[in-house]
Amino acid sequence: MAQLYFRAGLHERPAQFDHYFRRYPDYGMHAAGYCVVAGLEWLLDWMRAARFREEDLAYLRAQRTRAGAQLFADDFLDYLRHHGHFEAISLSAIPEGRVVHPGVPLSVVRGPLAMAQILETALLNQLNYQTLIATKAARIREVSRASMVLEFGLRRGQDRGANAGTRAALIGGADFTSNVGLSSTMGLPPKGTHAHSLVQAYLALGQSELDAFRAFAEVYPDDCILLVDTVDTLESGVPNAIRVFEELRAKGHKPVGIRLDSGDLAYLAIQAALMLDRAGFADTVIVLSSDLDELVIWQIQTQIAAEAGRYGADADAIIHRLVYGVGTRLVTSHGEGALGGVYKLVAIHDGTDWRPAIKIADSPAKMTTPGLKQTWRLYDRRGLATADMICLDEEDPRRMEQIVLRHPVEPSMFRVLEPTALSGMEPLLVEVLREGHLVYDLPSLEAMRERRRADVERLDAGVRRIVNPHIYHVSLSQRLWDLKQELRRRLESGD
């Protein structure tokens, strides 16, 4: 396509592409009520470094047409050599960590048509996946309440891509990760526990689980978390852990806790908690792992709440001491392994003016929303987000006397808000790159997390539900709606 644009003289035409997703992830029986956007910083790192190297150009030059001729001509390859970078690209985006919704442009790219087109795959690859995982992590955060969440997914992610998943999980809701390299990149300490193989090694050498635990406590007296399910959790693992904890206590150390990785985690957590309590270790944590996700965690909490009383245990205290180690199902977004984010041409410059572009697909829901736009988030009198309104770039809803929110597809559906019904409104897109130059302060991990916490706090409780959430309103302004209808009429009538 880039060579075609080059040949047709269109390659330097300014164009705009919007990146957005059309629907929330649906994990099978339950769809998300909101997403958390992530991936921008790593995309920017890539864009600023990406170049066509001589070896890339040599590979392209070697490509042949079916008739045996050179597929990419030398003048085009020369264009790529000198202009095949993103230094002419401008980019606006919704900052990482923010809550986002379907149909709203998450990033908007403007620049020469050829290079803006070449950017498509890399942008989608990086933003779709991190947004998918930040969203899953936010759901796990939601059910985990105040408990610590540890990301454990590196062994089950997609090769090096798992690092991007870990980063997104940390933005979206995980506190720490066992991924050491990524922890280093993000400036966090890594957090994990030992594996079954430690106990197995000691057993194979004729020693015992207790010997293995003692060896661990010897090396890590102040960071002692013991995995108790290698032999038998309640008959062997927990009693041995308690014995080692008592030895640590006698030497003035404070044991941290145990990990359960198999079996009925709710039942075992109750029983282990009772045993630890009786031994005077009520302040230790119980780390759970083994194919956890937001529904499994919710189910464990529900079972503990229902069952703890029958064993004379305090359900709230048990739930409060849980730590969740979440691996496979977080890094792969179990139930929905991809975010369907798309990158659509929405405007192109004809030399005089910007011309909106539109695609009429089979379903109105897939029709792109044309032109240059800004999205405003409207907050109701409670301070909660009530709608995202996509407007024309030049519109400012703060100056509207009445705010008309049009459903993006259904002509008969709209809402009218008086400005007095709102406590505030803010634009979501910020300028990030201006012709290749970074004009944006990249936020720290803590700032992205704070943004996510603040945005989630300002969602209605119904939208925050992890199952069957209320549908958040994403609307078009009246003027944008009118433009979309007019373009459609024009295209259908062949004008």
Q: Which of residues 367-406 bind a copy of itself (CB under 8 A)?
A: none
* Binds a copy of itself (CB under 8 A): choice among 83, 142, 190, 271: 190
Residue 19 and residue 109 in contact, taking contact as beta carbons nearer than 8 Å: yes
In the set 92, 240, 289, 333, which binds a copy of itself (CB under 8 A)? Answer: 333
Shortest CB 136 distance to a copy of itself, Å: 11
Q: What's the full length of the chain, in residues?
A: 495
Q: How far is CA 294 from CA 114, 156, 201, 372, in A?
A: 42, 18, 33, 38
Could you tell me the smallest distance in angstroms from the CB atom of residue 133 to a copy of itself? 8
Q: Which of 93, 149, 287, 347 binds a copy of itself (CB under 8 A)?
A: 347
Chain residues 120-159 in contact with a copy of itself, contact rule CB under 8 A? 120-121, 124-126, 128-130, 154-159
Written as one string, the DSSP assignment of 423-443 is EEEEE--EEEEETTEE-S-PP
Token pair for residue 367?
């029709």
Nearest to 124, CA basis, from 109, 138, 102, 103? 109
* Range in contact with a copy of itself (rule: CB under 8 A) among 78-86, 115-123, 408-416, 463-471: 115-123
Residues between 193 and 252 that touch a copy of itself (CB under 8 A): 194-198, 200-201, 203-206, 215-216, 218-223, 229-232
Mark the segment that binds a copy of itself (CB under 8 A) among 64-72, 272-280, 378-386, 426-434: 64-72
- At 238, the amino acid letter reads V
Does position 162 interact with a copy of itself (CB under 8 A)? The reply is yes
Crossing angle of helices 54-61 and 74-83, rounded to 10°? 160
Nearest distance from C-beta of residue 230 to a copy of itself, angstroms: 6
Nearer to a copy of itself, 88 or 215 (CB): 215
Four-point Cα dihedral 307, 313, 318, 320, nearest 10: 110
Q: Which is nearer to a copy of itself, 85 or 377 (CB)?
A: 85
Contact 72, 144 (CB under 8 A): no
| Subset of residues 93 to 112 that bind a copy of itself, contact rule: CB under 8 A | none
Task: Choose the binding region for a copy of itself from 176-184, 300-308, 311-319, 413-421 (rule: CB under 8 A).
Answer: 176-184
Based on the shown chain and the rule CB under 8 A, indicate whether residue 29 belongs to the binding site for a copy of itself: no
Of 240, 289, 332, 369, the residue at the interface with a copy of itself (CB under 8 A) is 332
Q: Of these, 37, 113, 322, 405, which contacts a copy of itself (CB under 8 A)?
A: 113
Specify the 3-state DSSP secondary structure of 414.
Answer: strand
In the block, tokens 């170049």 appear at 51
Nearer residue to a copy of itself within complex by CB, 159 or 401:
159
Q: Does residue 160 touch a copy of itself according to CB under 8 A?
A: yes
Residue (176 or 472) nearer to a copy of itself, CB = 176
The structure tokens listed for 167 are 């980063």
Residue at 174: amino acid letter: A
445 lies in the binding site for a copy of itself (CB under 8 A): no
- The answer to whether 300 and 338 are in contact (CB under 8 A) is no
Could you say which of 90, 92, 117, 375 contacts a copy of itself (CB under 8 A)?
117
Q: Total residues at the site for a copy of itself (CB under 8 A)?
A: 102
Of 124 and 429, nearer to a copy of itself (C-beta) is 124
Q: Residue 155 CB, nearest distance to a copy of itself (Å)? A: 4
455 to 494: interface string for a copy of itself, x by CB under 8 A: ------------------------------------x---
Region label for 37, one of left (φ > 0), alpha (ψ between -120 and 50) or beta (otherwise): beta
Beta bridge partners of 433: 91, 438
State which of residues 356, 397, 408, 469 lies at the interface with a copy of itself (CB under 8 A).
356
- Segment near a copy of itself (CB under 8 A); pick from 1-9, 134-142, 430-438, 452-460: 1-9
Strands 107-112 and 176-177: unpaired
Which CB, 51 or 381, lies closer to a copy of itself?
Answer: 51
Tokens encoding 408:
């993006």
Residue 278 lies near a copy of itself (rule: CB under 8 A): no
89-111 burial, b at 16+ Cβ within 10 Å, e below that, comes to: bbbbbbbbbbbbbbbbbbbbbbb
- Using the contact rule CB under 8 A, the part of the chain among 92-100, 331-339, 390-398, 459-467 near a copy of itself is 331-339
**Single-letter residue type at 170:** L
Choose between 180 and 454: whose C-beta lies nearer to a copy of itself. Answer: 180
Closest CB to a copy of itself among 47 and 378? 47
The DSSP string of 252-287 is T----EEEE-SS-HHHHHHHHHHHHHHTT-TT-EEE
Q: Which is nearer to a copy of itself, 99 or 127 (CB)?
A: 127
What is d(CA 227, CA 219) in angstroms, rounded to the nearest whole number? Answer: 15
Q: How far is it, in rounded angstroms, from Cα 93 to Cα 244?
A: 52
What letter represents residue 348's amino acid? I
Q: How far is the CB of 115 from a copy of itself (least distance, A)?
A: 13
DSSP H helical segments within 225-379, as ranges? 238-250, 265-278, 294-307, 315-321, 328-331
Q: Label the pairing between strands 473-476 and 385-392.
A: parallel
Of 306, 360, 413, 471, the residue at the interface with a copy of itself (CB under 8 A) is: 360
